[in-house]
Amino acid sequence: MRATVLYGPRDIRFEDREDPKIEKPTDAILRLAATCVCGSDLWPYRGIQKIAQPTPMGHEYCGVVEEVGSAVKTVKPGQFVIGSFCISDNTCPNCRSGYQSGCQNLEFMSRAQAPVLRVPLADGTLVGTPDKPSDQIISSLLAVSDVFGTGWFAADAANVKPGATAVVVGDGAVGLLGVLSAKLMGAERIIIMSRHEKRQRLAKEFGATDIVTERGEEGVARIKDLTNGIGADSVLECVGTEESMVQAIQSTRPGGSVGYVGVPHGMKLDVWPIFFKLVHLHGGPAPVRRYLPELIKLVWDGKAEPGKVFDLVLPLEQVAEGYRAMDERRAIKTLLQP
């Protein structure tokens, strides 16, 4: 097969790779219906996160099971499945407490920007759809694999409750799906911090009630204005920089919650001002496996269309252009068709 490999900064190649095959009895082989480029892929793509060697890329995926190892019990060849970007056994104590992204046998998926994919720990990682999905919902099912699951976790970690005021810091695909998640969880007021007109429109479509274009201290002041000087109940940090994290914390009311899912890069937090803010902080790599059944059902029942974040669809072989478009912020998120 041909698949995606990152060789160095902005050097994405679509090249011959060995076909995946069952390596362990717990593996499954999937023929992918769709895959995509993640905002977090841009860190190594831009050279900010170093890679030691040519690295197969991609961790979002859905498709049809082709083959399973002898120990696999819950998924079968022919079945349409979605998996988390975190590979988990779903049986260890951490998985059982709902933190599959902290699984004792955790691996992070890579290699998914490809037509065929080997998924380890298939029983613990994959969840099937009720039936063969229509083409129309493939993009939304794909989104569940990471970007919707991560936006959902941001909202859950920020403790969004019916009637709450939520702020979303970041207008990338995760932030936008944080808006959708907050809406689905019943938030009454959803404020997105965004300066990008196209993303603002999609945020409104997903349920945002207010747009704040200011950043830093001015942005915090605007949030305070909009919340009677108190701050928001729930703030979703979907960027991962120090500036965005401080902005998120300062926008939260005392006793409120920040859910942070932006992968932190070189972030050193001064704890003194946080201490006096009295906020709850929770976040990390999203335990998408916990949410898969619920989120698949939302998509299946037509109650959520997270696939709307894909505003560029390319054949997989044009993956390099998919990265470029996101790097240059021409696209929110690129879907790749094998």
- Site of interaction with its own copies (CB under 8 A): 93-94, 97-99, 101-102, 104, 228-230, 245, 253-255, 260, 263-272, 274-285, 287
CB of 289 to its own copies, least distance (A): 13
Using the structure block, give the residue that is written with the tokens 């709307």: 308
Cβ-in-10-Å burial (0-12, 13-18, 19+) of 268 comes to: exposed
CB of 280 to its own copies, least distance (A): 5
Q: Which is nearer to its own copies, 216 or 255 (CB)?
A: 255
Contact 33/2 with Cβ under 8 angstroms?
Answer: no
Q: Which is nearer to its own copies, 274 or 320 (CB)?
A: 274
CB of 281 to its own copies, least distance (A): 4
* Cβ-Cβ contacts under 8 Å for 138 (sequence gap 6 or more): 33, 34, 62, 307
Q: Tell me 90's DSSP state.
A: S
Q: Which is nearer to its own copies, 185 or 299 (CB)?
A: 185
| Dihedrals phi, psi of 219, to nearest 5 degrees | -65, -45
Q: Tell me 264's DSSP state.
A: P
CB of 218 to its own copies, least distance (A): 21
CB of 189 to its own copies, least distance (A): 15
Q: Which is nearer to its own copies, 33 or 279 (CB)?
A: 279
Q: Which is nearer to its own copies, 201 or 265 (CB)?
A: 265
Q: Which is nearer to its own copies, 1 or 278 (CB)?
A: 278
Q: In angstroms, rounded to a whole number, what is the distance separating the alpha carbons of residues 248 and 239? A: 10
Q: 328-331: which pairs have CB atoms within 8 A and are 24 or more residues apart?
A: 329/196
CB of 153 to its own copies, least distance (A): 10
- Angle at 120 (CA atoms; ends 173, 38), nearest 5 degrees: 15
Q: In angstroms, rounded to a whole number, what is the distance separating the alpha carbons of residues 31 and 118? A: 9
